[in-house]
Amino acid sequence: MALVVVLSACSGGSLVATVDGVEIRNGDVEKLIAGDLATVPPELYAQMIHTLIVHQVVSGAADEEFGISISSAEVDEQVVALTAQIEASGGTLEEAAAQQSLSLQAVPVIVEEDLTEQAIAEALSASMADPSEEDILAAYNSALQSLTEVCASHILVPTEEEAQAALDRIEGGESFEDVAAELGTDGTAEVGGDLGCVPASNYVPEFAIATIEADLEVPTGPVQSQFGYHVILVRDRTETPLEDVRADIEVNLRQQQSTTLLSDWMLAVIGGADVTVVEEYGTWELEPFPAVVPPVQ
């Protein structure tokens, strides 16, 4: 299934758009769409025009700036792998494409675009600086809830006053478990408020933060969440050390930076292209992001 869409050799039909002087005709657009063309929504037609515009701009800029040109053999290899993956799950490539209103001819176009963007991202990332220690620490701290296991109990009540009263009783000498069994309004009351040991990120944010900040074996509260008011007792807490996850954090930061570089590059080259869409098919707009806006019906 070699790539068949070459805009300089149009499929015919009326003019739909021009991209830096290269014509896109409705034959180019329609062969990407599955099903009855007479019932194609304007939004889908506009989306396919956009796909071809981006394909033309990005592939041309990738070749000019980085010498990147994806061969038909590379596209074929990826399509074969995609076909095998879909068939292994019991489907067909044609069915998978049709679910998105795409024809089989659209698949290599999308595959080539994906391979091109991957190659551009690699080229842009070649001069990318390593993540700073400050960035690594910031990423670690932002992920701390998922990296911290807490063993906690709670007492959930409807009002702040009831939570404070429960806390006062515990601080006055009553056991946390007895007060939880008497006052708790959720299923954990039956087990003295015991929530087990889980990552803090399993909880709603207010509760999670409280379990990380609380002193061990010291009741804390009232803590408000969407469920009501909590008195919390953290029995144990284990944080994954930074050094255990440093490598993963660095990989994620590089991926984020690479994604940003690619996005910025694409916005720049697409925004700088000379694009005109025939009014009958929509308008080319750059804000808030490049898109073909279908005509008003």
DSSP 258-297: HHHHHHHHHHHHHHTS-EEE-TTT-EEE-SSS-EEEPPP-
If asked whether residues 264 and 123 sit together in one domain, one would say yes
If asked whether residues 20 and 121 sit together in one domain, one would say yes
User: What is the value of pTM for the model shown?
Assistant: 0.74
Q: Is 106 contained in some domain?
A: yes
If asked whether residues 121 and 142 sit together in one domain, one would say no
pLDDT in tens, 89-102: 999 999 999 999 99
Beta bridge partners of 237: 150
The whole-number average pLDDT for the span 186-194 is 96
The whole-number average pLDDT for the span 61-65 is 96
If asked whether residues 21 and 121 sit together in one domain, one would say yes
Residue 215 lies in domain: 137-240
Q: What gap in Å lies between CA 172 and CA 176, rounded to an integer?
A: 11
If asked whether residues 80 and 23 sit together in one domain, one would say yes
Q: Is 198 contained in some domain?
A: yes
Q: Are 51 and 110 in contact (CB under 8 A)?
A: yes
Q: Is 189 contained in some domain?
A: yes
If asked whether residues 235 and 262 sit together in one domain, one would say no
User: In the prediction, which pLDDT does 11 show?
Assistant: 61
Residue with tokens 């098919």: 281
- Domain of 118, CATH number, reads 1.10.4030
Q: Is 218 contained in some domain?
A: yes
Q: Are 202 and 112 in contact (CB under 8 A)?
A: no
Q: What gap in Å lies between CA 203 and CA 194, rounded to an integer?
A: 14
The whole-number average pLDDT for the span 152-179 is 97
User: In the prediction, which pLDDT does 293 show?
Assistant: 96
Q: How does the average pLDDT of the chain come out, rounded?
A: 93
User: In the prediction, which pLDDT does 13 show?
Assistant: 85
If asked whether residues 214 and 196 sit together in one domain, one would say yes
Q: Is 217 contained in some domain?
A: yes
User: In the prediction, which pLDDT does 6 show?
Assistant: 42
If asked whether residues 157 and 201 sit together in one domain, one would say yes
Q: Is 88 contained in some domain?
A: yes
Q: Is 2 contained in some domain?
A: no
CB under 8 Å to 86, separation ≥6 — which residues? 92, 93, 95, 96
- pLDDT band, very low/low/confident/very high, at 1 (cuts 50, 70, 90): very low
Q: Identify the DSSP state of 33.
A: B
Write 76-81 long-range contacts (CB < 8 A, 24+): 76/1, 76/2, 76/108, 78/111, 78/114, 78/115, 79/1, 79/107, 79/108, 79/111
Q: Are 28 and 7 in contact (CB under 8 A)?
A: yes
* Number of structural domains the chain divides into: 2
If asked whether residues 20 and 120 sit together in one domain, one would say yes
Q: Is 247 contained in some domain?
A: no
